[in-house]
Amino acid sequence: MTIESISQLGLAFFGLTYDTIPQTRAAIFSQIHEIVFYGKGGYDWNTIYNMPIWLRRFTFSRIQDHYTEEKESLENKGKSGGNKTVINSDGTIKAPELLQKALQSKNVPKYS
């Protein structure tokens, strides 16, 4: 069966051809998956699938911007030198500050 185009451009259905259908479907389903997965439970698959294209693209770009900013802030935090380690140079584990203060305090609570 041959499908003839009635368009003067020679393209079928808005430029969607048999060669581009698999890539287009994969891109759509990939975008839906990423919104559902990285939306952290805020969206379900059916809602995103039926969402208008402009709104789905907007939602996807906002989620992408959020994770990009989060990645940059984590990278900047790591470069600022604020890294703390819980292991001393001799290999023992440091006690948390709250526990250190409690051990230094000689006031033992009395439960009676």
- Report the chain's mean pLDDT, rounded to a whole number: 79
The answer on pLDDT for 48 being more than 90 is: yes
- Least Cα distance to 34 among 24, 23, 45 occurs for 45
Mean pLDDT of the region 56-77: 92
Segment 52-57 shows an average pLDDT of: 94
Q: What is the mean pLDDT of residues 65-78?
A: 88
Q: Which comes out higher in pLDDT, residue 99 or 37?
A: 37
Rounded Cα gap, residues 61 and 48, in angstroms: 14
